[in-house]
Amino acid sequence: PEAADAPAEPLADPGTAEAAPAVPAVDENPTHSEHPLASYVLHVNGADRPVTDVWIGESLLYVLRERLGLAGAKDGCSQGECGACSVLVDGRLVASCLVPAATAAGSEVRTVEGLANGGQPSDVQRALAACGAVQCGFCVPGLAMTVHDLLEGNHAPTDQETRRAISGNLCRCSGYRGVLDAVHQVVADREAADEAAEAEAEAHDAHQDPARIPHQTGPHGFTGNGSVNGSGSGRASA
């Protein structure tokens, strides 16, 4: 015999059915809601820049670019491996993608925008451009910060020292030859400027205090005018 059809499930009484659990609202920023917010002040390129009510875990790179509008430092890898995000924190070169921005509060932060002098590119930036180190340009801000940091501590680095310094900066365009040439140019230009300034200072000192030959008394008391001890007579007394 064929199996009997299974009895149909009884319909639930709408008045007695349990209410379905409410679906929680989706947080568009779940990461931010799960971590505390923070407000702090960064001292960037000589100016105080307040950062208000942001996720405490934001990197220094993110805050510089997205909060403060300083887009010079680049996000090349987010792992501290490419050097494109290099900045100075209290004079130390760091990968800003690895530094929590909140930890830099109270420190002096210097970005590639802060290398300019009077609105003009620094000598390092000009040399990198003149020597062909700028190709696609993506890595150049990090290279500029690295070369600047190198020359701050070593006024005349060898090629080997320069190569070691820029070994953490990834560049697939220039082949690094232009960077080495740029370092040579900056060193030569700075030495020439120092020599010119030294020569100018010496000339200024000589003009302010010219050398003077003191008045000398000749043999037996004769002075240069033929007198004896300044008496005006060319004849010595007996």
Same domain as 129, residue 105: no
- Rounded to 10 deg, the angle between the 177-208 and 140-153 helix axes is 40
Host domain of residue 182? 116-204
**Mean pLDDT computed over 128-132:** 96
Work out whether strand 108-110 and strand 37-44 pair parallel, antiparallel, or are unpaired: parallel
User: Is residue 235 pLDDT above 70, yes or no?
Assistant: no
**Mean pLDDT computed over 34-57:** 95
**Mean pLDDT computed over 24-38:** 64
Burial 46-63 (b: 16+ CB within 10 A, else e): eeebebeebbeebbbbbb
**Mean pLDDT computed over 113-131:** 96
Per-residue confidence at 148, pLDDT binned at 50, 70, 90? very high
- Calculate what percentage of the chain has a pLDDT beyond 70: 74
Give CA–CA dist 171/38, Å, rounded.
35
Give CA–CA dist 198/203, Å, rounded.
9
Given a contact cutoff of 8 angstroms between Cβ atoms, the answer to whether 176 and 166 are in contact is yes
DSSP code per residue over 137-194: -SSHHHHHHHHHHHHHH-SS--HHHHHHHGGG---SSSTTHHHHHHHHHHHHHHHHHH
Residue 145 lies in a domain: yes
**Mean pLDDT computed over 170-195:** 95
Q: What is the mean pLDDT of the chain?
A: 85
Same domain as 177, residue 127: yes
Same domain as 70, residue 51: yes
User: Is residue 71 pLDDT above 60, yes or no?
Assistant: yes
Q: What is the CATH number of the domain that holds 147?
A: 1.10.150.120
Per-residue confidence at 174, pLDDT binned at 50, 70, 90? confident
Residue 142 lies in a domain: yes
Give the pLDDT confidence score for residue 204 in this predicted structure: 78
**Mean pLDDT computed over 26-31:** 52
- Quick one: which of 67, 79, 86 has its CA closest to 138? 86
Distance of CA 228 to the CA centre of its chain: 73
Same domain as 196, residue 171: yes
User: Is residue 29 pLDDT above 50, yes or no?
Assistant: yes
**Mean pLDDT computed over 179-185:** 98
